[in-house]
Amino acid sequence: MALHTELDIYKTGYDLFTRVTKIVENMKRPFKHLIGEEIVRETAKLLILVYRANIADDKAPHLSVLIEKVKLVELFLRLSLDDEKISPRQYYGTILLTQSIGKQASGWRKSSSVKRPSHGGQGRHD
């Protein structure tokens, strides 16, 4: 098992985390406290969920929550764009990262749910 910090999904998540932190720093105070800080918190939770999924035997529940959190971050970013609190360039730069995280999490969840023979053999031996 690889360290969670070596996984592509973690690296992408960390890139997203650093970007949203810088974006939120420049938001005006009322919106920053109401929505901006929530974006940063939810993005940090994505990184924790990658860690939890990596160490868990049953990865699917953690990855399902991760995918849900990605959608929440995307919603907050869309609201920020619509309210002109972030630029279209900032929005699209972060959305590319959230989409990548979502795709990686979906693929990981799918591959982790594939049943493998517990006996280590080569199929049926009737």
Question: Which residue is associated with the tokens 């969840």?
Answer: 109
Q: Is the pLDDT of residue 123 over 70?
A: no
User: What are the pLDDT digits (tens) for 45-84?
Assistant: 999 999 999 999 999 999 999 999 999 999 999 999 999 9
Q: How far apart are CA 34 and CA 41, in angstroms?
A: 12
Residue 35 and residue 80 in contact, taking contact as beta carbons nearer than 8 Å: yes
Q: What region does 120 belong to: left with phi over 0, alpha with psi -120 to 50, or beta?
A: left
Q: Measure CA 117 to chain center.
A: 30
CATH superfamily of 4-110: 23S rRNA-intervening sequence (1.20.1440.60)
Report the predicted TM-score, pTM, of the whole model to 2 decimal places. Answer: 0.85
Residue 100 and residue 12 in contact, taking contact as beta carbons nearer than 8 Å: yes
